[in-house]
Structure 1
């Protein structure tokens, strides 16, 4: 295929991720223009066949797919602010971690420029770009996602999170949060047993099994939420409340806090007061579940 500006891809920001993206696209024969705030960093990519641009405006105007591989949304907004004119027919992809509000602000600016917007959550390191283990989440214009899917598939296994511009940011941050919840929960547990003089290594073996129950149960829990049914499972809400109160006392004064258990206990107490004590823990978020009928 002859390289033309109609198929050119711009990579804005040539840090670790940006350089990996640009090199992988070049390796697959794409015409790539690159821009970086520090022009001296463009040398290696230029030697590999990329076209250096003198400004972000020049890079964007010369391409139809623009990948903003930047450190944060402050840098994204700075680049978007430097653009003007009609950018219709182009797709701008912000590839950095940020908040849903960040993604929405970027989407509004891109829409004002007439371009399509995709927000991307990069769930991979630069060394995995272009491999089957890399995953990048996308939210925003489904049409733009499908149009550029062949290119996006060169970089990772792309997953479309939803048409809301903030969808990928929510998914991305929530996954990070899930890791923090699990890892900090483990650290809190290890700190507790260590303080009690329990063998930490031996406890860790049983901790792995306990965490495994959450992992294997994830699809079933999601199904309960979608169906708004909350079977008791391993315990009823009334039984959970007893354990939660014990844990709150056990964790009192811990350096990593109590994990938010008082708020959970309060929610469980509210549900029990509504007559839902026989339901399971999913009821704490399944707000559409109706209280079970009482026997006469």
Structure 2
């Protein structure tokens, strides 16, 4: 059975993201019931046609599927674990942020109470919800995802990752690692250039060009990682390590924090000491794959 645009939905949690989710469902024509501890947060949604449920229990029974987006997993348990809550038969889609272990535990918890459960992660800011730019990841039983994808499509670009409930959160964290690493590298470079009177706006287009160029290397580097073979087709790690030394020295010479490049140089040094100096940069996956105290 596939959802239609008339499928009723429930949204629990009306922070900025929850409100955006409910707005998108309403815009797509879905009868939408909402619930939030502070009912006033539903005022705009009610004016658009949403119904405010008086209790969580009533909200759960109002829709064919319930999307919950609250502060954290403990908040979800507090709301859905109350004695008056019946989850049997509920299709629950949890878009609350957390880690992969929490997602798997929540799936087990929900399924023991008779609910169908998909875990998800929102890779977007609230204003993007309802547009193609909003990427929303889902993991859990594929049959549940397929049954409700047409409804979830109202939220953005909907992606299914696999049956493991933890995958959406794991992808979310991997995406954050990418985001912060790119931003931190840009801030490092910006701090250096500011010492020469170059402002951030001037550097930004050049930095964007570098970031785009590096991104194009990823598919080829991924092949090396997956095959476990790292021939130095472009540059050997020991050559990269020498450039890292220059970056550290330049940062220190102009009075800029060098902690970040020192951290990466230390990882490269360990890999070189292990005999990988003649291999290409992706060989550092072995260092990234170790616990931090290894």
TM bin (shorter chain) = 0.7 to 0.9
What is the Cα-based RMSD across aligned positions, in Å? 3.0
Structure 1 regions of 5+ residues with no counterpart? 288-296
Separation in 2 of the partners of 1:70 and 1:85? 17
Distance 1:263 1:131, change over 3 A: closer
1:126-275 residue pairs with structure 2 within 5 A?
126-195=126-195, 197=196, 199-200=198-199, 206-251=206-251, 256-259=257-260, 261-275=261-275
Residue 224 of structure 1, CA deviation: 2.1
Aligned CA distance change for structure 1 residues 256 and 57 (closer, same or farther; 3 Å): farther
- Sort the Cα spacing of 1:62 and 1:236 in 2 relative to 1 into closer, same or farther, 3 A: same
Q: Structure 1 residues 222, 67: closer, same or farther in 2, change over 3 A?
A: same
Tell me the residue number matched to 2:25.
25
Question: Take 1:28 and 1:199, find their aligned partners in 2: how far apart are those partners?
Answer: 47
Worse-superposed segment, 148-157 or 81-90: 81-90
- Structure 1: how far apart are the matches of 2:25 and 2:162? 25
Q: CA deviation at 1:121?
A: 1.4
Q: What is the CA-CA distance between 1:159 and the residue it aligns to?
A: 0.9
Q: CA deviation at 1:79?
A: 1.6
In structure 2, how many angstroms separate the alpha carbons of the residues matched to 1:125 and 1:95? 13
Kindly indicate whether residue 244 of structure 2 is the aligned counterpart of residue 278 of structure 1.
Answer: no
Report the CA distance shift for 1:109/1:257 in structure 2 as closer, same or farther (over 3 A).
farther
Moved more, 77-86 or 36-45: 77-86
Q: Distance in 1 between matches of 2:165 and 2:257?
A: 34
Q: Give the Cα separation in 2 of the matches to 1:228 and 1:133.
A: 34
How many residues are treated as equivalent by the alignment? 281
* SS in structure 2 of the partner of residue 121 of structure 1: strand
Structure-to-structure mapping, 1:60-79, within 5 angstroms: 60-79=60-79
Judged with a 3 Å threshold, the aligned counterparts in structure 2 of structure 1 residues 257 and 139 are, in CA distance, closer, same or farther, namely farther
Q: Within 1, Cα distance between the matches of 2:208 and 2:45?
A: 44
Q: Answer yes or no: is the 8 Å Cα contact 1:80–1:110 preserved in 2.
A: no
Select between 97-106 and 29-38 the one with higher mean Cα deviation.
Answer: 97-106
More deviation in 34-43 or 98-107? Answer: 98-107
SS class of match (1:92): strand
Q: 1:131 to 1:256 in 2, by over 3 A?
A: same
Contact 2:21 2:155 in 1 (8 A): yes
| Counterpart in the other structure of 1:290 | none
Q: CA deviation at 1:67?
A: 0.4
Once the two structures are TM-superposed, the CA of residue 72 in structure 1 deviates from its matched residue by 3.4
Highest relative contact order (Cα 8 Å, sep 6+), 1 or 2?
2
Question: Do the aligned partners of 2:57 and 2:85 also contact (CA within 8 Å) in 1?
Answer: no
Greater shift, 136-145 or 38-47, is seen at 38-47
Q: Distance in 2 between matches of 1:256 and 1:103?
A: 37
Kept after mapping to 2: 8 A contact 1:118/1:141: yes
CA distance 1:246–1:147, shift in 2 (3 Å):
same
- Structure 2 SS opposite 1:148: helix
- What does residue 102 of structure 2 align with? 102
Unaligned 5+ residue runs, structure 2?
288-294
Q: 1:269 to 1:103 in 2, by over 3 A?
A: same
**Could you state the TM-score of these two structures normalised by the residue count of structure 1?**
0.81
